[in-house]
Amino acid sequence: MGKALMDGQITPVHLIQPLYKHLMGWPVTFKDLEHIDDQIYRHLSELVNLDDIGMLCLDFTVTEDKLGVAETVDLLENGGDITVDNSNLPEYLDTQLKYRTLTRIEPQLTELLRGFYDVVPEPLLSVFDFQEIELLLHGLPNIDMDDWVKNTDYTGEFANSSGNKVVLWFWELVRSYEQEQKAKLLQFVTGTSGVPIQGFAYLQGNDGNVRRFTLHGDRNVKVFPRAHTCFNRIDMPIYKSKAEMQKYLTMAISMESTGFGIE
C-alpha cells in the first residue's frame, strides 16, 4: 500500500473506515463499530436507552470464538467480577470500543502501520483526512449516475414514490456534485468510495451481502441526514426546499470527513 501510494499507483482493495483512521492517526468513534459488526453496534447502542442495565447481568468481559472454543476476555482487570450498571455504562461502552477496534487486532495493526510508514514519511500525509487517503490509494471511483439511480431502493416516506420531490432534489443535487463530492457522499453512506466492477446492483454491506443503495424518508430525522453504513442507507429529512437539502447534506458529508459527529 505504501509503495503504491508513493508511486502513484491505484490499489484495488478497499479497507474498512476504522483502518484508514488508524493509518492517519484519527480518533476512532463509537459509530465506527458499525463498520466492523453492525449487530454488536446496535446491541451496545440500545443499552443507553435502558432504565436498569443491571437486569442484563453484564460484566466487563467479552466472549470470543477461538477456532470453535469459547474464550472469555477481560475488558478490565478482573472484568468478570465487575457488574455493568447505569453508573459505569459509559466506561463499559468505552472499553468495548477500545477492545473491538484496537486491542484485539493490536499486533497485526502495529505491523501494518510499521510497514506503511517504513515507505511513506508520516509528515507527508498530515494534510489529508482519512477519507482522502482512501481516494489517494484507490483513486476516484467511476460513478455512473444512471446506474446509481437505477439501482437505488426507496423506503420509509419514499417507499413506492421515487417521484417524490425530495428524492428528485437529491438526485439533482448529486448529479451537480463534482466527482470528488460524489465519492465522499458514497463514503458517507456506505463507508467506502468503492463501486463494484459490475456496478451499483452489486453494492455490498459490511457483511458481504448485496445491499443496494437506499434512500429512506424519515420525518423523525431533523436537519441532518443520517447514514447507516451497514445497510448502505441514508435517512433523509423531509426537506422543504432543495436549497435546504443542499446546505445540510453538504455539511453532513463535510463534518464526517473532518471527524466531527452530528448526532
Go through 62-85 and write b for each residue having 16 or more CB atoms within 10 A of its CB, e for each that does not.
beeeeeeeeeeebbeeebeebebe
Q: Is residue 171 part of a domain?
A: yes
Q: Is residue 2 part of a domain?
A: no
246-263 mean pLDDT: 70
| CATH number of the domain residue 187 falls in | 3.30.2410.10
144-156 mean pLDDT: 94
Here the cell at position 96 is 468495548
Tell me what pLDDT residue 162 has. 67
Domain encompassing residue 212: 140-258
Here the cell at position 21 is 483512521
**pLDDT over 90 for what percent of the chain?**
56
Cα 214 to Cα 225: distance, rounded to the nearest angstrom = 13
Q: Is residue 117 part of a domain?
A: no
Q: Is residue 206 part of a domain?
A: yes
Cα 66 to Cα 191: distance, rounded to the nearest angstrom = 28
Active site residue 57: no
The residue annotated as part of the active site, out of 28, 84, 185, 230, is: 230
CA angle 118, 99, 67 (to 5 degrees): 90
Per residue in 97-110, pLDDT tens?
A: 999 999 999 999 99
pTM for this entry: 0.69
Q: Is the pLDDT of residue 258 over 60?
A: no
Q: Is residue 173 part of a domain?
A: yes
Closest CA to 193 of 206, 208, 178, 182: 182
Q: Is residue 119 part of a domain?
A: no
Q: Is residue 10 part of a domain?
A: no
Specify the number of domains making up the chain. 1
Q: Is residue 76 part of a domain?
A: no
Residues 6+ apart with CB under 8 A from 117: 2
Tell me what pLDDT residue 256 has. 65
